[in-house]
Chain A
Amino acid sequence: MNEKTFYRLLLALVIVCVAVTAAHFAYDVYAYRHCSIIYFIAKEVWGHAAP
């Protein structure tokens, strides 16, 4: 593909990805304010870490 088409494609892709990521963040901000803190803590990621 020629350079112009490529850059257009790249720009479109970046716009879509940024929009999806921003929506993901916005959802997290909303959900964090309303979620159950018990479930939030229960689902924490823990490996086998020694004290």
Chain B
Amino acid sequence: MPRRSTLAKQIALLAGVALLFASFNAGLYGLLTRRLSNNFGGATQAKMIDVRRYLPFEKDSDLARANASLRLSGDLPVLDGAAALVPVYAAVINALYPEGSVTYEGGAFSDDNYYGENFAPDSKMQYKNTVRGYKAVVDGETDVFFTAAPSEEQKQYAEEQGVTLRYVPIGLEAFVFFVNAANPVDSLTAQEIRAIYAGEITDWAQVGGIHRPINPVTRLQGSGSQTAMDRFMGETPYGGKSPLVLFGASIGYSFRYYMEGMVGNDSVKMLALNGVAPTKENIQSRAYPIVAEFYAVYREDNPNPNIPLLIDWLLSDQGQRLIEDSGYVRLGG
């Protein structure tokens, strides 16, 4: 009998240890891993964009259409851009380029194909996104790059290579902050957001929410939204935080159209800033405090004669209407 009792205790102890670790890992999965695992599977990489939805010359693509009076021919500029601007430059190709100038090959994720998207080398549409795309325009692989404002590193890279880039503003966009839709906070002031990211405000209760730590989430250095955030924070240092806030309630940032028009996730909501919501009307009137221009960027020494034609068209009423129909806000509206 005593032997049986000892065996039972030993088995119970082993089971208890296994259960303890299993519970810990299950808790970690529920609170954290589950929220991270969605981003690596399948061609629809949610963190970026499903380019297949925006392919030019495809009948079922989600692109805005334009009856353009301009048709480009000859040396067609290679267009590339940030994820959030794929619908714009793909629509431009659709409107101005001859059919057959884009060859999409798809592809799987790999170290060489970070975004899981491949275009043939001779395709006039490419997709490298902001970090690699800036390098491509400086290196001459891309003729015109559609993007938010450059980061200091990106400007520096161009300088180091002895390249002068021209930045032509072609539309307006809002830099927005967002939280989970269940978060009771709907509006923050710019000052409060800076204090949150600087670590001076650490609990949602301090800004009218519930008692829960604030997790101020940042993005990849060099990405368009991270550069906009650096600009928003100015000289205020930010980014440091306790790992424990991962389990709190987060605040993040992005561009309005990327959130609303491309990702379209109902479980998050954009915050009003200083009481002004980032609607199209408020961006147009510049009542929303952080309105940013986005640009067509090209090398000043690029001899391609189609580039000035393309830029002029983008700034024309037809081009601006296409930008508006793509979900953005036209210049000077």
Q: Quick check: is B246 within 8 A (CB to CB) of the other chain?
A: yes
Residues of B within 8 A of A25 (CB): 28
Contact B212 A49, beta carbon cutoff 8 Å? yes
Q: Which residues of A contact B249 (CB under 8 A)?
A: 44, 46
Rounded to whole Å, the gap between the CB of B227 and the closest CB of chain A is: 15
**Residue contact B178 to A41, C-beta cutoff 8 Å:** yes
Compute how far the CA of A28 lies from the CA of B36 in the bound complex, rounded to whole angstroms: 7
Name the A residues within 8 Å of B39 (CB-CB).
31, 34-36, 39
**Residue contact A31 to B210, C-beta cutoff 8 Å:** no
Q: How far is the CA of A18 from the CA of B47 in the complex (A)?
A: 31
A-B contact pairs, 9 of them (CB 8 A): A1-B10, A13-B18, A14-B17, A25-B28, A31-B37, A34-B47, A35-B36, A38-B254, A39-B35
| B38 touches which of A14, A27, A36, A49 (Cβ 8 Å) | A36
In Å, the complex CA distance between A20 and B35 comes to 19
- Residues of B near any A CB (own CB < 8 A): 7, 10, 13-14, 17-18, 21, 24-25, 28-40, 46-47, 178-184, 208-210, 212, 217, 219, 246, 249-252, 254, 259, 263, 265, 267-268
Least CB distance, A47 to chain B, in whole angstroms: 9
Interface mask (A6-28 → B, CB under 8 Å = 1, otherwise 0): 10011001100110110011011
Q: Is the CB of A32 within 8 A of B246?
A: yes
The chain A residue sitting closest to B265, CB to CB, is A42
Asked if A45 and B38 sit within 8 Å, CB to CB, the answer is no
Q: With contacts defined as CB atoms under 8 Å apart, how many contacts are there between chain A and chain B in the complex?
A: 114
Partner of B47, one of A1, A21, A35: A35
Give CA–CA (A43, B265) in the complex, Å: 10
* Chain A residue nearest to B267 in the complex (CB): A42
The answer to whether B36 and A49 touch across the interface, beta carbons within 8 angstroms, is: no
Q: Which residues of B contact A44 (CB under 8 A)?
A: 35, 180, 182, 249-250
- B178/A38 in contact, CB under 8 A: yes
- From B25, B181, B184, A24 is in contact (CB under 8 Å) with B25
Give the residue name and chain of the A residue nearest to B3 (CB).
Answer: A1
Specify which of A18, A21, A38 is in contact with B268 (CB 8 Å cutoff): A38
With A20-B21, A44-B249 in contact, do A38 and B46 touch (Cβ < 8 Å)?
A: yes
Within 8 Å CB of A42, what residues of B?
180-181, 265, 267-268
Are A13's CB and B14's CB within 8 A?
yes
> A40 and B217 in contact (CB under 8 A), knowing A17-B18, A21-B24, A32-B246?
yes
Are B250 and A40 in contact, CB atoms less than 8 angstroms apart?
yes
- Shortest B137–chain A CB gap in Å is 24
Residues of A within 8 A of B40 (CB): 31, 34
The residues of B that contact A9 with a CB separation of less than 8 Å are: 14
Instruction: Identify the closest chain B residue to A6 (Cβ).
Output: B10
Complex contacts, B35 vs chain A, CB 8 Å: 35, 39-40, 43-44
Q: How far is the CA of A36 from the CA of B263 in the complex (A)?
A: 10
A23 to B14, CA, bound (A): 21
Chain B residues with CB under 8 Å of A17's CB are: 17-18, 21
A residues near B17, Cβ cutoff 8 Å: 10, 13-14, 17
Query: How far is A42 from B264 in the complex, measured between Cα atoms in Å?
Result: 11
